[in-house]
Amino acid sequence: MKKIAFIAIMILMQYFVLGQSIQRSQSNLPILSDDKAQIDKPMGWVLQDNGLWRSALGKILLFDSESNRRPDQIQKLGRTNINKAVLKEVLVGDDQYAILIVFSSGGYYEFPDMRQGFHKTKIVDYYVFNSRKLDEILPLDIKYNEAYAVNLEVFAYDHLVDIDKKDIDTKISYNILRTLRQQIKSQFTSILNVMPVITNGKKFFRFRLVKILNKKSLYQKYLLDENKDKLFTRSYFEVPYKDFVDFFSSINIIKPDFNVENPVNFADFYKRGVMRYDRGHYERALSDFNAAIQLEPENRFMMLYAYLGSTQHELENYPAAIRAFDKAILFEPSDPSQKPAWVRVYYNRGVSKYKMEDKMNACKDMNRAKMLGLKDEEALKNIKKSCKGKYKDVIAK
């Protein structure tokens, strides 16, 4: 059976956090989301010595005076290049961070003096920064043809060479954990210089990403008003306006309406538990849900017990998950908007029973959810696959 999922229809006090597609944590490593957005090979532009602009897909070319008539392999890579950029998110403690991952190409000569024996390398640079910076990257009052700069105030950074793609997330997680535990200040920060423009009736975002030592005396000059547009006078990357907006708005920024560090009542603990659950921090989510119940043991809020059951399931505490789902089903909501979430609880309870190898009662619950109008296509496929033969039509009362 696939990993249990829970669809929230309405969260207490109108609080809603979008669920993430995440993997289980290992060794207490922070859990990275799947890719939220991706930009492939942005167009690079450079003003050549003859006064003409030249463009190339995915790279900013060298000035004519910097390259040979027949550019070698290093020169062909350009002044800088971007094969793709990816945006992810991660919860560090209870703070939400974004991760900008830039994939590029590099290389070196085995015999540099003779420019022979070229070896191409795959480069990965990543920048972990607080998600609040996304509001600065996409301010509400965007003005065309006016450059602005955002110091990402990078929390963690690394430059990786020829790393296996499947190991990138783990490498980032270890670096975040090390930075958090040792309270290390990142050696580098990054300044994102941005200029929205309209060219020939079309909207674009021009940008430059500058990695620089994390010293105010060095990066401050990039933030001065008189310098913000200077990075765009001779070269820049450019992407369609919508692509840039979609990329940096792909993360739903958490803006809690309560003190995350110091919850004080049932609603606060419940909402923080949901936030932690959605990002895979199941042990901490469990603690919050239990704290909410201790504060108001008579509260019959169905969603709390639904999330509690899902949390116990993710921790592989299947009997405890079933008990929580039992209560969620008992506390059937009167609000029609919450009924689909309540129906989903039957399916989730069935999954927990299936994990305990109680296939008959598992299929009874899952078929019950189907009969009540379960809409999730993946869940319906699981039911069809798992409940065949004598289990096909059994239904829980």
Give the domain CATH number at 384: 1.25.40.10
Domain count, the chain: 2
Same domain, residue pair 241 and 286:
no
- Note whether residue 71 is domain-resident: yes
- Give the three-state DSSP class for 134: helix
Claim to verify: residue 242 and residue 368 sit in the same structural domain: no
Provide the domain limits for residue 349.
Answer: 12-17+259-391
Per residue in 236-271, is it b (16+ CB within 10 Å) or e — as a string? bbbbebebbbebbbbbeebeeebebeebeebbbbbb
Dump pLDDT digits (tens) for 182-205.
Answer: 988 999 999 999 999 999 999 999
At which of 196, 221, 248 does a domain end?
Answer: 248
Question: Using a CB cutoff of 8 Å and minimum separation of 24, what contacts does 296-300 make?
Answer: 296/266, 299/266, 300/331
pLDDT per residue as tens, the chain (397 positions): 444 444 343 333 333 332 333 333 444 788 899 999 999 999 999 999 889 999 999 999 998 877 666 778 888 999 999 999 999 999 887 889 999 999 999 999 999 888 889 999 999 999 999 999 999 999 988 999 999 999 999 999 999 999 999 999 999 999 999 998 898 899 999 999 999 999 999 999 999 999 999 999 999 999 999 999 898 999 999 999 999 999 999 998 887 888 888 899 999 999 999 988 987 889 999 999 999 999 999 999 999 999 999 999 999 999 999 999 999 999 999 988 889 999 999 999 999 999 999 999 999 999 999 999 999 899 999 999 999 888 887 777 6
Cα-flanking dihedrals φ and ψ of residue 126, to 5°? -130, 150
Q: Is residue 397 part of a domain?
A: no
* pTM across the whole model: 0.74
How many angstroms separate the CA atoms of 328 and 293, rounded? Answer: 13
Final residue in a domain of this structure, among 226, 248, 270: 248
CB 140 within 8 A of CB 196: no
Quick one: 137 and 286 in the same domain?
no
Residues 209 and 291 in one domain: no
